[in-house]
Structure 1
Amino acid sequence: MTATTPTPTPGRASASAARGGSRWTSRGAVYTVLVLATLYSVLPLVWLLTSATKSVGDFSTTSAFEFADWNLAANIDDLLAEEDGVFLSWVRNSLLYAGLGALIGALVCAACGYAIAKLDFPGRRLLFAVTLTGVLVPTTALALPLYLLASELRMVDTFWAVFLPLLTNPFGVYLARAYAEAAVPDEVLEAARVDGSGELRTFLTIALPMMRPGVVTILLFQFVAIWNNFFLPLVMLTDPDLFPVTLGLYQWSTRVTQFPQYNPLVITGSLLAVVPLVAAFVVLRRQWRSGLATGSLR
């Protein structure tokens, strides 16, 4: 006499699978994941804010997320006075690199993406394939070739050695091409050409306003990437007057073990360095929403 094991019916198996799947996709599980992701993103900023209020001695007498006697104003004064106010020079350099580089870079990416999407010329597909290949190449891998090229052109330790490579962004070109393909109708371009409009005028007066939300997105990505750029200035620059804020704070952080008084300066400087990024995101986000609303009314 042999024992037979019951075989699950298809309906019962699918029901148990549905119960198992709903366990992981329930509202409570999703909220838990979102809360953990939020804490992972916010806690470093909270630590930065609490640490910026501490003096040198408070780091050893207070916990990580505990406010001290609110020495933030004194720390800011010390930061701005250190080395004859070199921190303000670093901030100015970062604003110049990121602001001007993001603006010009976004326009270059928009023009390239529009050309690949809407203009018919030999080698267009090959050019787009090369652009996609550039997206896969990490920027750190290009630092040494860029340094050798800048050395040949005698541009090392100059503003242009850092600024010019930041104007190209393969991902921005890819994003602009995808947005131009969807947002700029071919009929509108053909009507403009029939009316005698040249390609440059057509792009500036017709295509670029239609691509505004995509261009603002590229501008935001460019600004954040350039502001946080560290490795390229580290390779190219030796003059502290040309340092961006990221490289300048790194130079100070290397002195913390020997000179603990630099610890509050580095942390306070890092906190202030976040402010332009938050401001840029808020401002560009508003423009992005207005651009989307304008595009929906056309």
Structure 2
Amino acid sequence: MENKIRRYHWKDGKSLIVGEKTLIMGILNSTPDSFSDGGQWDHECLALRHMEDMVRDGADIIDIGAESTRPGFTPLSAEEEISRLERILPQLLRECPVPVSVDTYKAQTAAYAMESGAHIINDIWGLQYEKEPGQMAAVAAQYKVPVIVMHNQKGTEYTDLIGDIKHFFERSAMIAGQAGLEGKYIITDPGIGFGKTAEQNLYVMQRLRDLTVLPYPMLLGTSRKGFIGKILDLPVTDRMEGTGAACVAGVLAGCAIMRVHDVKPIARMCKMADTLKV
């Protein structure tokens, strides 16, 4: 893992080391319609309280999103997305003691967030959103911030699922390089729950080691996802144990960051998995 250790420092004094231990990214959905917790944290005081709870429980990063990307979601314009973020993000950045990631695939939203002082871009289209070619990479390069490039595609047809994901990441890295963003700022994400069937999600989980050998730290986002519900026959809110098992598997396969709703129990599980990892 030594070659994948990343040390990030920001001008507001915050810092982050990726690769020394498993990091926990706590999910803060500022949306009325997210698949798991829509509407719970879309008011400023509730969002800030939830942030404080997650940091106390072990979150190393807070990931705020203003547009639901659940299956069948209705896209927002960048202006609408920014309007939602404006209610919460400025105070969140002032009060949050850990780095803040902004979950968006729109360059205009990312530019607003980075100009406001956010620290990381979390892009579900991995710098490859077809309506804005090259624009997200340009924002990340301008602000010299880490960007999480998640694998995604329309439909679920693949020639070679793992090979196609690797090719996607290679293309993302090429786009980043063309924009002037160094490879040390790239964090990958296999995109569990995006552009994949439940069976394909499970296959990716079983083959994570084939992806963590790439020269980038990897984030894993399995929290309460549909494939867990299918395996355990459980509704969204009862999938914490399944999420924990998936996260432990991710730790043992070499993933560096876990993006989760249930911070406290998952942080404990990951700490134990880190200790047992050979």
Shared fold per TM-score greater than 0.5: no
* TM-score w.r.t. length of structure 2: 0.23
> Quick check: which has more Rg, 1 or 2?
1
| RCO comparison, higher one (Cα < 8 Å, 6+) | 1
**Larger helix percent:** 1
- TM-score (ref. length: structure 1): 0.22
Identify, as 1 or 2, the structure richer in strand.
2
